Amino acid sequence: MAGLLNNLSAVGKAGLVTPLLLMALLAMLVIPLPPLALDVLFTFNIALSLVVILVAVYTPRPLEFAVFPTVLLVATLLRLALNVASTRVILLNGHTGTDAAGNVIQAFGDFVVGGNYAVGLVVFLILVIINFVVVTKGAGRVSEVSARFTLDAMPGKQMAIDADLNAGLVSQDEARRRREEIAQEADFYGSMDGASKFVRGDAIAGILILAINIIGGLTIGTLQHSMAMSDAATNYVLLTIGDGLVAQIPSLLLSSATAIIVTRVSAAQDMGNQVFQQMFATPRALYIAAGVVGSLGLVPGMPNMVFLSLAALMATSAYLTAQRRAAEEAALLQPAVEAAPPTSPELKELSWDDVPPVDLVGLEVGYRLIPLVDRAQGGQLMGRIKGVRRKLSQELGFLIQPVHIRDNLDLEPNHYRIALMGVTVGDGEVFADRDLAINPGRVFGEIAGTPTKDPTFGLDAVWIDPANREQAQGLGYTVVDAGTVIATHLSQLLKEHAHELLGHEEVQHLLDVLGKHSPKLVENLVPKTLSLGVVLKVMQNLLAEQISVRDMRTIAETLAEHGAKSQDPGVLTAAVRVALSRSIVQNIIGTAAELPLIALDPSLEQILQQSSQGAGGGGLGIEPGLAERLQKSISEAAQRQEMAGEPAVLVVSPDIRAWMSRWLRSAIRGLTVLAYTEIPDNKRIRVVATVGRDEK
């Protein structure tokens, strides 16, 4: 026996089980089998069905029997192949007697139905009706609904895992294991939806095989073997019914196993424990049922002993269950009572811990964008966002806070939303399975796809199939995937709102780092010369105009020098800008020696200076029509510079630079406003346009 098991194990490890099984099925379909072989195979079929249904009952969770759909298919094919083999034997040798197809079929035909083929036919039809109409149909419907609900719930489950991972509630390994479990669950219920169709088809095939065998057997017996109709019916119909019962009983067992699997709730308990705990753990229900059954036992003419005995058994079970539950509750409550303080309130008082903080930077996505953030599905967006944070932190000079990613079922499936301090600053729509072909301004043809706008810069774009990526690039389009679109949009918004991301903690950290190398400088600056709030405001002013605060030493020295004269953040910002002029201009033109400038007409600039002084330096005090014409002229000059491939730089008097920059910053994208004092001595200037001659 041990040697046989070792041989079977070796065959399984060699991967020969499936080929051997297929060969056996083909042999049963083609080669006539002797009655002894049919007996062995029918017995094996019944045993296999019993094992399957018992495993389904005792499996704690459906996923732990994930091979069930495959086993169901193999068992169904085995049963159908046996039907073909037994049909061949019955039709060839049925005239010799009811033992022509083996002892198993004879036993079911003679003993189970008493040798009466009419009774056997009725029993077979009842089994088929139970299997086909009740069990199989219900299991098929449950499988279909479970598969659909499981697939619909996948996005939410995966986003919940990502949220737990981002919040640090689970590790990478645990998150990976939970994602794999979700994928296995979807595969399992999808397979069960298809496997239930095998069971349904098998039940229909049983009815057809019975009819064919009876008609074929009677025809062969009466015409070929000259048997009387009664003798032919006795032999062939009994053999056919015995064959049908031998096949229908395993079929009913497998159908029941299918129904048990698909109706199970995923829990770490076998079916027996679940039934006992959920049905017989309520004493009240057992008491009421015992009372009803006992009342029926008192009715004259009823089997009193049976009803009263069952009622007594149910009442005893209810009493024992109630006693056990009371003991368990007392054991659970005793330690809690001893540990609780005498004055412990029933409800915990609210505290500041119950008020969740607002995320500094948040990204919300629709459920169809889950593959972009799920690394298990190849999503690279989280890695790209980390790269965006690293790049911006290096460019701007302070650490960008982490981006908290979460799902939002209120969003459209393909939409995303970017928020700062809980307020939406940008949103867009992307398609995870497509690429975005952006028109940079000059392309050499059109590409098939869905027209749209680039969410970052508002450029014309087309959503295309990834297979057309090379074609679009050949036409001059800039092609990026959906993850890059979101990452680029996030990068641009973080850069534009960098001044909002810088707070007291970040400034204090920058000063602490500077203090390691220049302790006296930091000591003289904060708090002796300026408060931390004034330093923060100056640095926010710089970031608002896309000026990096990496050169913290220059900023601190300038503030220490001018802080004794003025505490005004605006005046201090202007002084720091002059000190950082070389860095500012280098970010505009790089290492080029010449700086192209857009200048204002001197008389117009004088009018603006007078308007600024009249308004107290707080804004524009000019006529709206003049302001509109001035803004239009500057915008046209900036567009000409952009078309020429040069930066758009407006140079003005230091007195009006700050509010000119605030006024034009949002209206003209890409325009930089400099003061005369902010132009380094080592740069040549070239005035490319003079604005204002016609606007006065």
3-state SS of 648-694 is EEEEECHHHHHHHHHHHHCCCCCEEEEEHHHCCCCCEEEEEEEECCC
Is the dihedral angle over the CA atoms 100, 101, 107, 111 positive or is it negative? Answer: negative
To which CATH superfamily is domain 502-579 assigned?
FHIPEP family, domain 3 (1.10.8.540)
Q: What pLDDT, in 10s, does the model give residues 552-591?
A: 999 999 999 999 899 999 999 999 999 999 999 999 998 8
- Dmax (CA) for the chain in angstroms is 128
CA-to-CA distance for 298 and 302, rounded, in angstroms?
Answer: 8
ω into 624 cis (within 30 of 0): no
In this predicted structure, what is the pLDDT of residue 261? 78
Q: Give the pLDDT band (50/70/90) at residue 495.
A: very high
Task: Read off the tokens for 619.
Answer: 């804004």
CA-to-CA distance for 122 and 245, rounded, in angstroms?
Answer: 11
In this predicted structure, what is the pLDDT of residue 615? 54
Least Cα distance to 367 among 153, 155, 154 occurs for 155
In whole numbers, what is the pLDDT of the chain averaged over residues?
80
Exposed e or buried b per residue across 184-218, where buried means at least 16 C-beta atoms within 10 angstroms of its C-beta: ebbebbbbbbebbebbbebbebbbebbeebbebbb
In this predicted structure, what is the pLDDT of residue 550? 93
Q: Tell me which of 194 and 457 has the higher pLDDT.
A: 457
Answer for the pair 528, 549: CB distance below 8 angstroms, yes or no. no
Answer for the pair 581, 679: CB distance below 8 angstroms, yes or no. yes
CA-to-CA distance for 74 and 68, rounded, in angstroms?
Answer: 10
CA-to-CA distance for 687 and 597, rounded, in angstroms?
Answer: 5
Cβ neighbours of residue 215 closer than 8 Å, sequence gap 6 or more: none
What CATH class has 361-498?
alpha beta
Q: C-alpha angle 591/593/598, rounded to 5°?
A: 105
Confidence check: pLDDT of 8 > 50: no
> Average pLDDT of 209-215?
79
Answer for the pair 217, 239: CB distance below 8 angstroms, yes or no. yes
Tokens 């000190």 sit at which residue?
A: 579
Task: Read off the tokens for 568.
Answer: 């005004």
Is the dihedral angle over the CA atoms 611, 614, 620, 623 positive or is it negative? Answer: negative
Answer for the pair 95, 228: CB distance below 8 angstroms, yes or no. no
Q: What pLDDT, in 10s, does the model give residues 331-366?
A: 655 554 444 455 444 456 777 777 778 889 999 999
- Helices 117-129, 172-219: inter-axial angle, 10-degree rounding: 150
Q: What pLDDT, in 10s, does the model give residues 533-545?
A: 999 999 999 999 9
CATH code, residues 585-696: 3.40.50.12790
Task: Read off the tokens for 104.
Answer: 């198993």
The radius of gyration of the chain from alpha carbons, rounded to an integer in Å, stands at 42
In this predicted structure, what is the pLDDT of residue 337? 44
What residues does each domain of the chain span? 33-131+194-267, 280-326, 361-498, 502-579, 585-696
Q: Tell me which of 63 and 159 has the higher pLDDT.
A: 63
Answer for the pair 664, 608: CB distance below 8 angstroms, yes or no. no
In this predicted structure, what is the pLDDT of residue 389? 92
Q: What pLDDT, in 10s, does the model give residues 158-169?
A: 766 766 666 555
Answer for the pair 86, 289: CB distance below 8 angstroms, yes or no. no
From residue 207, give the alpha-carbon distance in Å to each of 25, 76, 331. Answer: 21, 15, 58
Task: Read off the tokens for 157.
Answer: 């489950």
In this predicted structure, what is the pLDDT of residue 189? 74
Q: What pLDDT, in 10s, does the model give residues 452-493?
A: 999 998 899 999 999 998 888 888 898 999 999 999 999 999
Task: Choose the weakest-confidence range: 185-194, 306-315, 602-611.
Answer: 185-194
